[in-house]
Amino acid sequence: MSENIYSDLKQLGGETRIPASPEEAELERVPNPQADVAYNVRFTAPEFTSLCPMTGQPDFAHLVIDYVPGAWLVESKSLKLFLTSFRNHGAFHEDCTISIARRLVDFLEPQWLRIGGYWYPRGGIPIDVFWQTAPRPEGLWLPDQGVPPYRGRG
């Protein structure tokens, strides 16, 4: 492999600041060197934080993102910074969860993507948000997301 597929990355290996908003966050990608194989990539963010748009109080979620890459892989530091940018962003649980998935789909053009947003209770009600781009690809090994129904997560 003589070509360096990582040469265009700006955030990995250097000092970076947390983006002020999801719109400001810069996702980065690299070519998928295994694009001829259908495989699942899982990112788990057990401490995702955003703000309630009405009260400004923090909301917490356990996010699980599964995707089958096409030509591109998301660079994980840029994904972490993108997710962290929601810390000062006010939006309802459903909007945060779906916005994250749609941004990844638009940027990566994966063969398939799903997200599970398991939100911790506010006002005594947990909210779980699920979305996927299409039915699961045939023959794909896809483990359970591993987050039990709410009975006191954590």
Binding site for substrate, residues? 74-76, 93-94
Considering 8, 36, 59, 66, which one is annotated as catalytic? 59
Query: 2 is written with which tokens?
Result: 């003589």
Does residue 96 carry a catalytic annotation? no
Annotated binding site: 74-76, 93-94
Query: 140 is written with which tokens?
Result: 């794909």
Query: 25 is written with which tokens?
Result: 């966050």
Considering 52, 66, 95, 144, which one is annotated as catalytic? 52
| Contact (Cβ atoms closer than 8 angstroms) between residue 129 and residue 114 | no
CA distances 120 to 25, 92, 114, 123, 133, Å, are 25, 13, 20, 10, 24
Does residue 8 carry a catalytic annotation? no
Output DSSP code: residue 77: H
> 56 — phi, psi (to 5°)?
80, 5
Active site positions, annotated: 52, 59
